[in-house]
Structure 1
Amino acid sequence: MASVTTTQPPLRHIKINLHDKAALQNGALYALHMCTACHGIQGARYSELPPVLGLSKSQFLKYIGTDGRRYHDTITTNMSPELMTKFVSMPPPDLTDIALRRSPAWLYTYLTSFYVDPARPAGVNNVAFYNVAMPDVFAGMQGLQKPVMVEGLRFGSPARIAVGVLPLTQGTMSKAQFDQTARDIVTFLYAVAHPHQAERARLGPWIIGLFLLLSILTYFIYKLYWRRVITSNERWWRIGR
C-alpha cells in the first residue's frame, strides 16, 4: 500500500527559558486574558501560577488576576460550550493538552503564521494547521498576512502548500514585538503544561553526579572483592605445588 504523504511546512524554531520570569509573566497576561476567551488551561489552577511566575499571591492578583474566579479554581474558558460550538463548530481544545502534544516550535509557528484566506469561514488559514477553525485573534497586534505558497502534496495529491507568511498590513506591534509576545505565550504554556520541568533541570546534574559517584564506589568495591578471590588456575597451581 502506497504511503499517503503531505508536504510539511518548516517550523520556526525557538529557545524558551523557563527561568525568564519576565517572559513568563508577559505570556501569562496574554494567555489568561486573551486565550481563555475560548480555551481552557485546566491543567493548572490560578493558585499554582505565582511560584511559576516569580510573584507573590498579592502581586499575582493585582497585576494578572483571575477574571473574577476563585483563587484555587482551575483555569477554564470564559465562553460556554454552546456558544463556542456556534462560532467554531466544536469546542476549542484545552491549551494544556496542546502544549503537551506539540513542540514549542510548532506552537510558535502556529501563533505567528495566520494568513488571509477568503475561502475559510473565519477568513484565515494557518501555515502549521491547514484549514484551521480558529479566527486570527492576533490580527490587531500583528497585522494581516499573506501566504508564501509552493507546489507540494496534500494527502498524496498535488496541492499548493503554505510554507510561510508575508505582511499585508501593519498591526499595533512591530514584527519583533509580536514575535517576542508569541514566544512569551509559548514559554508560559509550556511551563504550565510541564510544571516540574524547571525542577528536573535543576536536579538533573545532581542526580547524574550521584550516579557517577556510585559507579566509582562500585568499581572500587568490585576490585577489592575480586582481589581476594583465587581463580581456578591459581588454585590448582597451589595444590600441585
Structure 2
Amino acid sequence: MRALVLLLSLWMPAIATAASGSFTLDHAPIDLTDKASLQRGAQVFMNYCSGCHSMQYQRYSRTFEDLGIPEELGSENLQFNGDKPTDYMKRAMPETSAATWFGAAPPDLTLVARVRGADWLYTYLRTFYVDESRPFGVNNKVFPDVGMPHALQPLQGTPRESYEEVMVDGETVKRYVGIQSDGDGALSPDEYDQAVADLVNFLEYTGEPFRLESEKIGKWVLVFIIVLFVFVFLLKKDYWREVH
C-alpha cells in the first residue's frame, strides 16, 4: 500500500500537467528558503483560501515554527476560528454548507502542490477570466469549466481575456494574448503575480514541510556513501591482493 501511494504521488504531477491540455504552464518561482515569501503566502492562504479549503494534515504550530512566526503573533493574525495552535488547519466553512453551495466540499489543500505541481497552481491562479455563462461568472484557462469562484479577485481585479488581431494566410484573426485585469483590484499586475507566487510557495512547503531538512540530510548521506566507498574499495584490494 505504501509503495502504491508513493507511486501515485510521483505520477500525479505528470497527470495534472497532462490535464491542463495544450495550455502552456508558466514556471513558478519556488524558493522554500525565502521565509518572507512563505509568510506572505501563509497570510494570503488564511485570508482568501481557508474559508473554504482546509489543510487537515498541517498544524498551525508547525507552520509558525517552520516559517519563523512567533506563536502569539501567528495565533492573532493567522487563526480566525478559535482553534489552538496545536490544532490542524481546518476550513472555517461547515462541510455540509460547502457541499450545498458548491455541489461538493472544496478539496483539502495540504498536498495540492504535490498532486497538481507548482507550475500548474501558479498558472491556474493567474488565468481566471470573466465568463458570464459559468455559475460563479468566471472560467479558467488551465481548468476549463472550473467549479469555484475567483477567490483572489479582490487582489487582482476583474480579469478578462485579451486578444490581438493578426494576419494569417491573408485573413485577420484574433490571437489570445493573455489575461488582463480591469485595474479594480487592490494590487498591480506585478504585485498580484508576486502574491500568487508567495501563495504557491507556501502550498509547496505544506506539501512537504520537511523537504529542506531531507535535502540537507541527503547531502550528508551522499558524502557518507562516497567516504564509505573509498574504505570498502581499499578493503577489497587488501582482501584480494594475494589473488591478483
The reply to whether TM is greater than 0.5 is yes
**For the residues of structure 2 that align with 1:223 and 1:66, how far apart are their CA atoms?**
66
Q: Provide TM-score, normalisation by structure 1.
A: 0.82
Match of residue 72, structure 2, among 49, 58, 62: 58
* In the alignment, structure 1 residue 134 sits paired with structure 2 residue 134: no
Superposed CA deviations along residues 195-220 of structure 1, whole A, max 9, x for unmatched, are 11010122222111111111111111
1:10 pairs, out of 13, 19, 24, with 24
| TM-score calculated relative to the size of structure 2 | 0.81
CA distance in 1, matches of 2:73, 2:237: 58
Work out which of the residue numbers 29, 49, 68 in structure 2 matches 1:35.
49
Match of 2:130 in 1: 116
Residue equivalent to 1:44: 58
Given candidates 58, 61, 86, the residue that maps to 1:72 is 86
Query: Counterparts in 2 of 1:79-90, with a 5 A limit?
Result: 79-90=93-104
Q: Look up the SS of the partner of 2:56 in the other structure.
A: strand
Paired-residue identity, %:
33
Counterpart of 1:214 in structure 2 is 228
| Conserved 8 A contact 1:9-1:162 | no
CA shift at 1:66, angstroms? 5.0
Task: Kindly tell me the number of residue pairs found equivalent between the two proteins.
Answer: 217
User: Aligned with 1:121: secondary structure?
Assistant: coil
Query: Secondary structure, in 3 states, of the residue corresponding to 1:95?
Result: coil
Greater Cα shift, 202-211 or 163-172:
163-172
Tell me the alpha carbon deviations over residues 55-98 of structure 1, each in whole angstroms, 9 at most, x when there is no partner: 23233224433531122111111111222122211110001132
1:103 aligns with 2:144: no
Deviation at 1:162, TM superposition (A): 7.6
| Structure 1 residues 222 and 108: alpha-carbon distance in aligned structure 2, compared to 1, 3 A threshold | same
Give the superposed CA RMSD.
2.4
Matching residue within 180, 188, 191 for 1:174: 188
The answer (yes or no) to whether the contact 1:114–1:126 under 8 Å persists in 2 is yes
Change (3 A) 1:54 1:137: same
Give 5+ residue unaligned stretches, structure 1: 150-160, 231-241
Bigger Cα Rg: 1
8 Å contact 2:181–2:189 — kept in the other structure?
Answer: no
**Structure 1 pair 7–36 and aligned structure 2 pair: CA distance change class (3 A):** closer
Q: CA deviation at 1:46?
A: 1.1
Distance 2:226 2:80 in 1: 46
SS in 1 for 2:240: helix
> SS at 2:110's partner residue?
helix
